[in-house]
Structure formats: C-alpha cells, structure tokens
Amino acid sequence: MNEFQRAKIVLRILNKTYPKTPIPLKHRNIFTLLISVLLSAQCTDVNVNNVTKNIYPKYNKPDHFVKLGRKKIEKLIKSIGIFRIKAKSIYNLSKTLVEKYNGRVPKTFDELEELPGVGHKTASVVMSQGFGYPAFPIDTHIHRLAQRWGLTNGKSVVQTEKDLKRLFPKKYWNKLHLQIIYYGREYCKARECYGISCKICTSCYPKRKKPIKTKKA
C-alpha cells in the first residue's frame, strides 16, 4: 500500500467519523479567533475557552487590548501557560493592527506572519478557519498522526505540511485539519494507540504489531 492509498483510507474514515467539524476555539470575530489561536500554544483548547469566555464579551477588538495594556492582559490570561509572553504578543499585535491595519486582521499569510507572536501555524489557522482560505495548519499532534498513518517521514512540520498538501486535494484541507485533530483526541491518542489499535492505524498497517516511534517536530 502506498501513501496515496493510505491517504484515501484516512479521508474515508475521517469523513465518516466527523461529517461536521465545528471550530474548537470559541471566538466572536476573526480578531478573537487570532487571539485564541495565539493563546492555544502549549495549552488546551478547553483551557483557552474557559479563560476567553470571561474576556471576549467585554474585550473583542484590537483597541480594547491596547487600552488594557500588558499588565492587565497578563491578569486576564494568567491561568494560561507562558502568559507573560502571550500578553506581550497580544498587546503588540493589537497595537500593530490599530496603527497599520485600521483595527482589521489582514488577509494574507505574509502580513499575518509579520504580526508579533504570529507564526506560520497560527496564520494558517486564521486563514483557514477565519477567512476560509485553503490551508493546512500543522501542529505537533497532526505531525505525529501523519507519521503513524504513513503520510510523511516526519522530518519537520514544514515537510509534513508539504506532504499532506500533496496527498490530499485542496478542497479538503480546511475540514481535514480539524478532522485529524478530533480523531487524534478521541481515537489515536499519543499514549494509547501507539499506531497499532485505532481504525486508521489498523487499516493503513494491518500487519503492524509493534508500537511506532514518531519523530518530534
């Protein structure tokens, strides 16, 4: 079985398992989606949603966060990992959006990735989930699963993104990104499946008996 055959199996199982893919990060607009994605680094979506549910009803525009200032932003997000670094990024990117983009989130990868604290993965999520532009955001979980399923050799997240974009038609990218995340959380967990027990792993590698070691991003 080659990687394209495995990709077809993955797509079939994911479409059957998750016909609908709601965005896991709660947000009110594209700006708050950007903030939530930034906050989700080294943190669970559940924790981010628990924190932002008390923030977004009152603060949901770049100028709101500029007026708050770094110290007050820190207090609002202090239960989230590396909150001081994230508060600095939130304040600085909000300031940039107000000064350079009239308070609007830009619609291109290049402009998004120039914002403080915004890397390629964060920009990809915003382009995909915020603007509906075909993108394939790769985090450490998708990187791990793509290796288990024989879709990439796992050298880097950059390589994984290239491989998945090559294997799957562009029209599936946005939904597929979310489907893989949901499937990994429910069925192909890092410390439970090990590449030998979930339906995708057993379908792609029916003869695999030993746990597979994946390369870190």
Residue 154: the pLDDT is 81
CA dist., res. 189 & res. 213, Å (int): 13
Average pLDDT value for residue range 12-30: 96
**Which residues fall within 8 angstroms of residue 202, CB to CB, at 6 or more apart?**
196, 208
Average pLDDT value for residue range 27-37: 97
Mean pLDDT of the chain: 95
- Residue 193 pLDDT class (50, 70, 90 cuts): very high
DSSP H helices, the chain, are 3-17, 30-39, 45-52, 62-68, 70-77, 83-101, 109-113, 120-125, 140-148, 157-167, 173-186, 199-204
Residue 202: the pLDDT is 96
Average pLDDT value for residue range 162-183: 96
Active-site residue set: 121, 139
Domain extents in the chain: 3-21+136-204, 30-130
CA dist., res. 154 & res. 42, Å (int): 20
Please name the residue that has the structure tokens 């603007």.
Answer: 131
Task: Confirm whether 3-21+136-204 and 30-130 share one CATH topology.
Answer: no
Residue 167: the pLDDT is 97
Q: Which bin fits 18, alpha (ψ -120 to 50), beta or left (φ > 0)?
A: beta
Is residue 62 helix, strand or coil?
Answer: helix
- Residue 216 pLDDT class (50, 70, 90 cuts): confident
Question: Fold for domain 30-130?
Answer: Endonuclease III; domain 1 (1.10.340)
The CATH number of the domain covering residues in 3-21+136-204: 1.10.1670.10
Asked if 115 and 15 touch (Cβ cutoff 8 Å), the reply is no
Is residue 95 helix, strand or coil?
Answer: helix
Backbone angles phi, psi at 38, to 5 degrees: -60, -40
pLDDT surpassing 90 at residue 41 = no
pLDDT surpassing 80 at residue 217 = no
pLDDT surpassing 80 at residue 166 = yes
Tokens, residue 9: 């199996």
